[in-house]
Amino acid sequence: MNTYTKYWFLEGFNLFNKLGRITMMRMCEILEMDSIDKGTTIQLLNNDKKSIFFLKKGTVKIIDTVNKNVKYIVKKGHIFGELSLYNEQAAVEEQAIALEDCIVCYIESERMESIMEKHKSLKNGVLKVYGLRIKKLERRLQDLLYKDSTTRIKEFIFDYIQEFGEEKNTRIIAKNLLSHKDIANLTNTSRQTVSNVLSSLRKNNIIAYNSQNISLFKTQKQQDNI
């Protein structure tokens, strides 16, 4: 795709709001762009070169290759692969898998680092993303210590629907992209426990789900005792 098409794709990223058109156009000249089919593994490391990815369309899950657990989920308009900027050793142990058809732009981490050094707003934006992900991992550890498995699963489901869903009439509806095993990984529980909690939530009309979608009724999202 040409530079102008890449520019249009990157306009939706908050990271680039303060860069200006000229800098954006120069950046687009060195970006690669690709369409990724659902279920495909995205190579974060290629020919010993690490890349930073900008997800324009679709959803991706990041896997820890050591224990095969899901670390976090990335939605469109966000980046992934940024770990290579801060911890090269840990970055080698990450893998990205497309949960649906995706469109990505990507740039070698060394080039990205060079651009970040010239543009403080971009550097701060990427650091913020990295920091928020660290906080989420820390929160998961705290939850493991202080919350039971049922509570962890419920809170994860509600957070997922509200982050990835859209409001439609009386419900917030998100695509059902995660398997019960994925949710178990993300909540440090078992697949059977996840199945039991989801079934209970559906039986009590708190959520609804099928193979395509999972939804939360708006009347429930502000209740703390479900």
pLDDT tens-digit series, residues 29-76: 888 889 999 999 988 876 667 899 999 899 999 999 888 889 999 999
CATH code at 147-220: 1.10.10.10
CA distance 97 to 7: 25
CATH code at 3-144: 2.60.120.10
DSSP letter for 161, please: H
Assess contact for 24 and 96: CB atoms under 8 A.
no
pLDDT tens column, 120-141: 888 999 999 889 888 888 888 8
CATH topology match: 3-144 vs 147-220: no
Scanning the chain, the segments in alpha helix (DSSP H) are 3-10, 21-30, 88-91, 109-118, 120-146, 149-164, 180-187, 191-203
pLDDT band at 219 (very low <50, low <70, confident <90, very high): low
CA distance 197 to 182: 14
CA distance 120 to 170: 42
* pTM across the whole model: 0.83
Average pLDDT, the chain: 87
Per-domain residue ranges of the chain: 3-144, 147-220
**In 3D, which of 197, 90, 182 has the Cα closest to residue 133?**
90
